[in-house]
């Protein structure tokens, strides 16, 4: 198998596979859309053709059957019913597993599940599928007596419960793997029609030999697009794969290839070098004001513009549309809604919004969890929605848009919303907060309780949710990305999750502050506002210094006491208060100086500081000094 050809196939197959995901779910809403039907048929056909060129027989067989079924559907001989959709989506998943196997270095793939192949064949013939699985239903798992259903459990324990569920909810279906073989002398590249292919399968099921089936198809003529000589039981030498068909017309010089495939490691190296250039640029900008030379000032200003343009261009090469993440959600929502017996319409907006490649990958799991939560916790059952005057079909909106140097992602549902009183009560029951604290929490702050570790409102454990873990992981993941999560909800109307993350992780906008003789960088995403420290505007509540800000009391912390105790003094005349978000809290940090905003390149800490709470990394400031980048949640937990 030629590796270069294989890699070309994997790139094309990956794109086709992603497109099929959206198209299949969309088709279930518009089963008569001829353009969709033809596009899906072409998708399976093209993957099959590519697999044939590199001789991946299991993928050929599976795609061929899916292609056959869609040929019947697009010609009006079969319907894209929910049952056929289930079978096709199972085939789609199996194709994805095979493509992933090839990407991971596997060169001898296992055959597809014979039961699945039989289901596809039966669906082509319009027959009742004898081996069809029961309609999925939510299976409630019983825990041993005395076990807290809301308690944390390890992944291994939960997987054991799920395995037990699968054993109880799915009956074993015996199946026999069958391969089609060709008789000696039959051209393996000859064309076999769908009817002749079905005749071969029928002859096998009737007990005929594979060789007799091949003889019945020997009348075929033309070119069969799938080289299946490797399947032949006869001891003949496999026919070589046919070369790729030439293009319809040679490209002219003006129409030459306009794209080139580049290893992402090279892009990372370039981005690192741009980061170093940004540091040098910052240093020169700082020196410009001290040199007082017009020519040097003009040259530095020009360098500043060029560096910004270069930085933007390199960032664009690393950008991917957020559609890369969004494309999986139609299937997630479709499968989960069908499993829970709900009706949900998913709308996606801003799919072309670009995001750093590393962020696209990092956001996938948190967004999946939030979407599953919206389907499970948020949207009500159809009958319940009808009783409350809503449409039986729930609405789920997944949106993305760029806001300056950040991306705003929103997950909105029109479900039952969150009950702030219930959240307070559950948090107290679990010992996460005391009753006094709970009584003082505003509804907005109560919504943030779901982000605490171990919080859950589920009274029973299912394979969908109720493990007592999850949202805290989402919160920590978003925080590690230098982003934030905000929750708004109205009881009976729905819930909105807002997630803000920077466009890139390579270069971080920060607020530089001075504490004693040291500089520190605070991620700009956490900063709300800055004002002068005024001791007359502060008071103490339960021994903690507080400041009143727009009818809200905010706790104050002296950064000098934490980070530079040796510089402690009483002169606070020029001190500033920086209001920041830390987790679900808002606090005020008292610093000696505010240096201003600065884009910094994050450098890892040295071995001796690795793992130290409160620090996300280090950077070199414009004046050539080293500054530590603060990790606010880690700093709060440390001090």
Question: Is 170 part of the annotated catalytic residue set?
Answer: no
Q: Which two tokens stand for residue 292?
A: 């007082």
Question: Is 83 part of the annotated catalytic residue set?
Answer: no
Are residues 10 and 102 in contact, defined by beta-carbon separation less than 8 angstroms? yes
Phi, psi of 116 (to 5 degrees): -65, -40
d(CA 316, CA 303): 20
In this prediction, residue 1 carries a pLDDT of: 62
| DSSP secondary structure string for all residues of 190-219 | S---HHHHHHHHHHHHTT--HHHHHHHTTT
556 DSSP assignment:
E
In this prediction, residue 214 carries a pLDDT of: 34
In this prediction, residue 274 carries a pLDDT of: 86
Are residues 526 and 582 in contact, defined by beta-carbon separation less than 8 angstroms? yes
pTM, rounded to two decimals: 0.60
d(CA 35, CA 27): 10
- The residue annotated as part of the active site, out of 68, 84, 282, 373, is 373
Residue recorded with tokens 């270095």: 105
In order of their start, the domains of the chain are 3-231 (1.20.120.160), 264-320 (1.10.287), 322-502 (3.30.565.10), 507-638 (2.40.50.180)
In this prediction, residue 253 carries a pLDDT of: 42
HEC string of 404-470 equals CCEEEEEEEECCCCCCHHHHHHHHHHCCCCCHHHHHHCCHHHHHHHHHCCCCCCCCCCECCCCCCCC
- The residue annotated as part of the active site, out of 45, 64, 377, 380, is 45
Question: Is 373 part of the annotated catalytic residue set?
Answer: yes
- The residue annotated as part of the active site, out of 21, 22, 61, 67, is 67
d(CA 125, CA 87): 14
CB pairs under 8 A, 24+ apart, for 64-70? Answer: 64/197, 64/226, 65/91, 65/117, 65/120, 65/121, 65/124, 66/91, 66/92, 66/95, 66/120, 67/41, 68/120, 68/124, 68/194, 68/197, 69/120, 69/123, 69/124, 70/37, 70/40, 70/41, 70/44
d(CA 60, CA 94): 12
The total number of residues written for the chain in this structure: 639
User: What average pLDDT values come out for the chain (639 residues) when binned by 10 residues?
Assistant: 78 86 84 88 90 88 91 88 88 91 86 90 76 43 54 56 51 38 47 52 43 38 32 35 38 52 80 85 84 87 89 82 86 89 93 85 88 92 94 95 84 94 90 86 88 71 50 84 87 93 79 89 89 87 85 87 71 83 83 88 75 81 83 81
In this prediction, residue 271 carries a pLDDT of: 83
The DSSP element (H or E) to which 577 belongs, if any, is strand 576-582
């Amino acid at each position: 198998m030629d590796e270069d050809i294989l890699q070309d196939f994997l790139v094309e197959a990956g794109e086709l596979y992603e497109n099929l995901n959206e198209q299949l779910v969309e088709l279930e809403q518009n089963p008569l859309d001829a353009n969709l039907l033809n596009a899906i048929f072409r998708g399976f056909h093209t993957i099959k053709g590519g697999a044939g060129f590199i001789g991946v027989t299991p993928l050929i067989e599976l795609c061929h059957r899916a292609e056959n079924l869609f040929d019947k559907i697009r010609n009006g001989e079969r319907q894209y019913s929910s049952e056929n959709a289930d079978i096709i989506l199972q085939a789609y998943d199996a194709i994805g597993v095979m493509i992933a196997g090839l990407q991971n270095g596997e060169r001898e793939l296992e055959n597809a599940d014979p039961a699945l192949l039989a289901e596809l064949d039966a669906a082509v013939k319009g027959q009742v599928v004898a081996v069809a699985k029961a309609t999925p239903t939510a299976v409630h798992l019983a825990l041993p007596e005395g076990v807290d259903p809301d308690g944390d459990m390890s992944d291994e324990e939960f997987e054991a419960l799920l395995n037990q569920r699968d054993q109880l909810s799915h009956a074993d279906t015996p199946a026999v793997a069958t391969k089609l073989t060709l008789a000696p002398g039959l051209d393996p590249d000859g064309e076999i029609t769908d009817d002749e292919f079905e005749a071969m399968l029928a002859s096998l099921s009737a007990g005929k030999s594979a060789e007799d089936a091949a003889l019945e198809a020997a009348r075929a003529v033309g070119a069969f697009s799938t080289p299946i000589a490797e399947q032949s039981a006869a001891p003949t030498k496999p026919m070589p794969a046919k070369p790729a068909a030439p293009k319809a017309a040679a490209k002219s010089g003006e129409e030459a290839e306009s794209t080139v495939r580049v290893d992402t490691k090279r892009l990372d190296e370039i981005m690192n070098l741009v980061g170093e250039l940004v540091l040098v640029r910052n240093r020169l900008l700082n020196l410009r004001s001290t040199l007082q030379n017009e020519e040097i000032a003009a040259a530095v200003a020009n360098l500043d513009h060029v560096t910004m343009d270069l930085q933007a261009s390199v960032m664009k090469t690393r950008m991917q549309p957020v559609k890369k993440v969004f494309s999986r959600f139609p299937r997630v929502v479709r499968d989960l809604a069908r499993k829970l017996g709900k009706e949900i319409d998913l709308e996606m907006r801003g799919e072309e919004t670009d995001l750093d490649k590393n962020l696209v990958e990092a956001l996938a799991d948190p967004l999946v969890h939030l979407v599953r939560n919206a389907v499970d916790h948020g949207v009500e059952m159809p009958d319940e929605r009808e009783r409350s005057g809503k449409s039986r079909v729930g609405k789920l909106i997944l949106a993305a848009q760029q806001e300056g140097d950040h991306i705003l992602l929103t997950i909105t549902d029109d479900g039952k919303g969150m009950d702030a009183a219930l959240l307070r009560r559950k948090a107290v029951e679990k010992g996460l907060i005391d009753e006094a604290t709970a009584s003082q929490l505003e509804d907005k702050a109560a919504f943030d309780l779901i982000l605490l570790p171990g919080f859950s409102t589920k009274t029973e454990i299912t394979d969908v949710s109720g493990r007592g873990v999850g949202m805290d992981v989402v919160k920590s993941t978003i925080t590690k990305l230098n982003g934030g999560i905000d929750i708004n909800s109205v009881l009976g109307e729905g819930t909105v999750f807002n997630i803000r993350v920077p466009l890139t992780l390579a270069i971080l906008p920060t607020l530089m502050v001075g504490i004693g003789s040291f500089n520190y960088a605070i991620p700009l995403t956490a900063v709300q506002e800055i004002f002068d420290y005024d001791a007359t505007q502060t008071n103490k509540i339960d021994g903690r210094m507080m400041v009143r800000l727009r009818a809200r009391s905010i706790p104050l912390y002296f950064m000098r006491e934490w980070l530079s105790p040796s510089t402690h003094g009483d002169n606070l005349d020029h001190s500033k208060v920086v209001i920041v978000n830390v987790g679900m809290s808002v606090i005020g940090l008292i610093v000696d100086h505010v240096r201003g905003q600065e884009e910094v390149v994050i450098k890892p800490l040295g071995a001796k500081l690795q793992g130290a709470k409160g620090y996300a990394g280090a950077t070199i400031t414009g004046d050539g000094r080293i500054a530590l980048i603060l990790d606010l949640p880690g700093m709060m937990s440390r001090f």
